[in-house]
C-alpha cells in the first residue's frame, strides 16, 4: 500500500498528519508513506524527525497587503502544481490525505485529476480556504466540529475529531512526579503557557508583566516561548526560581500531566489535546489567522463552560488576574476540566485511517 500525506505550515497541521501516518504504519505493515510539504516550512524538519520522507513544493500563501507580490506567488503555485503532478504520478499512491496548509492544494488537486481517492482532514471549526476548494472532488472529509456542512457537502463528512500526539494521554505518573521531572516544586501549582510552535508575541509580552504576580501568588510557570521569541524572553526573565523559559517543550505528556492551568492560543490541535486531557485553560485566540478561526474554536469551548477566553487586545492587562483567579478557584478548575472532557473525540487517528482504508478497498473493488 502507498499513501501520500500532504500539508503543514504549523504544528496544528503537522502533528495530526504524523499521527495519521503512525496509525497507518501500525495497522498495515510495510505501507510506503510519503509526505509532501511546503519548502521552508516547519514540516520539512518535523516530518523527517518522525521518520518519514518528505518532498517540498515552492508554494506560498497569497499576500493580501501587497497585491503585486502575488505575481511571484502565482508563479510558485504553477511550479508547485507541476512538481506535485510529477510526485503523484511517480509515487502512484492508493490514496492522498490532505491535512490543510499550502502544499495540500496542489497535491490533492493533482491526485483528484488522476482519479486517485482523496481524503481531507479539517481540524478547525471554520474550514480553511484550501480544504474548501478541494472539498467538491474529495471522497471523504473528516472533521472535529458539528455544523461543518456549511462548508462541505454533508454526505462526505465524517465526525472523527483531531488526531493528537499519542504520548500526551499517558497517565502512568502522578501530577507531583511530573512536576519533579520538569524541575518544579511538586507542592506549588503549575501554570503552563504554550504559544504554538512558532510562538505568540502577545502572550509572551503579557507574561513579561504577569509572571512576577503569578509567582507571587504561589505558582510556578513553565513558559514555552516558541522559536522566534525565546532569546528575548529568556534574557528578560534571567534566572528566577519557579520559572522555566523554554523554546520548545519536547515532553508535552509531562507538561500536561503536571499543569494545573494552561495559557494557550486556540489552535485546533491544542484544543483537541486540552479536551482529551481535561485541562483547565485560558485561551487567547490569535487574531492573525484566516477567517478568525481560532476565536471560533475557543468560542465553541466557552459556550459549553469548558474554557476561559481572553481576547488578544485584553491579554496584557488581564492575563495575571485571570490566571490567578482560576488558580484560586478549585471548583471552577474542576468544572472546566469535566466540561472540556465531555467534548473530547478520542481515537481520531484510528477513525480517519478506517475511512482511508475503506476508500482504498472501494477503489480496488471497482478495478
Query: Tens digit of pLDDT for each residue in 238-263?
Result: 888 999 999 988 888 999 999 999 99
Count the Cβ atoms, other than its own, within 10 Å of residue 45: 11
Q: What is the pTM of this model?
A: 0.84
In 126-157, which positions are buried (b, 16+ CB within 10 angstroms) versus exposed (e)?
bbbebbeebbeebbbbbbbbeebeebbeeebb
Q: What percent of the chain has pLDDT over 70?
A: 96
Of the pLDDT bands very low, low, confident and very high (cuts 50, 70, 90), residue 62 is: low
pLDDT of residue 209: 93
pLDDT of residue 63: 63
Closest by CA position to 254, among listed 137, 171, 339, 131? 171
Dihedral sign for Cα 228, 231, 232, 234, please.
positive
Of the pLDDT bands very low, low, confident and very high (cuts 50, 70, 90), residue 146 is: confident
Helices 315-327 & 330-342 angle (0-180, nearest 10): 100
Amino acid at each position: 500500500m502507498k499513501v501520500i500525506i500532504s500539508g503543514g505550515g504549523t504544528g496544528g497541521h503537522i502533528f495530526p498528519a504524523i499521527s495519521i501516518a503512525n496509525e497507518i504504519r501500525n495497522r498495515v505493515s510495510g505501507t510506503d508513506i510519503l509526505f509532501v510539504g511546503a519548502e521552508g516550512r516547519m514540516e520539512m524538519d518535523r516530518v523527517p524527525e518522525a521518520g518519514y520522507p518528505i518532498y517540498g513544493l515552492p508554494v506560498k500563501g497569497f499576500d493580501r497587503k501587497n497585491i503585486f507580490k502575488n505575481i511571484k506567488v502565482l508563479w510558485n503555485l504553477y511550479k508547485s502544481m507541476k512538481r506535485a503532478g510529477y510526485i503523484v504520478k511517480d509515487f502512484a499512491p492508493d490514496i492522498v490525505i490532505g491535512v490543510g496548509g499550502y502544499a495540500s492544494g496542489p497535491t490533492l488537486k493533482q491526485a483528484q485529476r488522476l482519479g486517485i481517492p482523496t481524503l481531507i482532514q479539517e481540524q478547525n471549526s471554520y474550514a480553511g480556504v484550501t480544504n474548501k476548494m478541494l472539498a467538491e472532488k474529495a471522497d471523504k472529509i473528516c472533521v472535529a466540529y458539528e455544523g461543518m456542512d456549511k462548508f462541505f457537502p454533508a454526505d462526505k463528512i465524517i465526525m472523527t475529531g483531531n488526531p493528537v500526539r499519542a504520548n500526551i494521554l499517558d497517565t502512568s505518573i502522578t501530577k507531583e512526579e511530573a512536576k519533579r521531572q520538569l524541575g518544579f516544586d511538586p507542592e506549588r501549582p503549575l501554570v503552563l503557557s504554550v504559544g504554538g510552535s512558532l510562538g505568540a508575541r502577545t502572550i509572551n509580552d503579557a507574561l513579561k508583566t504577569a509572571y512576577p504576580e503569578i509567582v507571587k501568588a504561589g505558582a510556578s510557570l513553565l513558559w514555552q516561548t516558541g522559536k522566534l521569541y525565546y532569546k528575548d524572553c529568556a534574557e528578560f526573565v534571567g534566572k528566577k526560581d519557579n520559572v522555566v523559559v523554554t523554546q520548545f517543550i519536547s515532553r508535552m505528556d509531562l507538561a500536561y500531566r503536571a499543569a494545573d492551568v494552561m495559557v494557550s492560543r486556540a489552535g485546533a490541535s491544542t484544543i483537541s489535546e486540552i479536551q482529551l486531557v481535561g485541562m483547565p485553560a485560558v485561551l487567547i485566540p490569535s487574531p492573525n489567522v484566516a477567517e478568525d478561526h481560532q476565536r471560533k474554536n475557543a468560542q465553541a469551548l466557552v459556550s459549553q463552560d469548558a474554557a476561559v477566553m481572553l481576547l488578544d487586545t485584553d491579554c496584557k492587562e488581564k492575563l495575571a488576574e485571570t490566571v490567578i483567579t482560576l488558580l484560586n478557584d478549585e471548583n471552577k478548575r474542576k468544572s472546566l476540566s469535566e466540561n472540556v472532557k465531555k467534548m473530547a473525540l478520542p481515537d481520531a487517528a484510528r477513525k480517519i485511517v478506517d475511512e482511508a482504508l475503506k476508500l482504498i478497498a472501494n477503489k480496488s473493488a471497482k478495478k
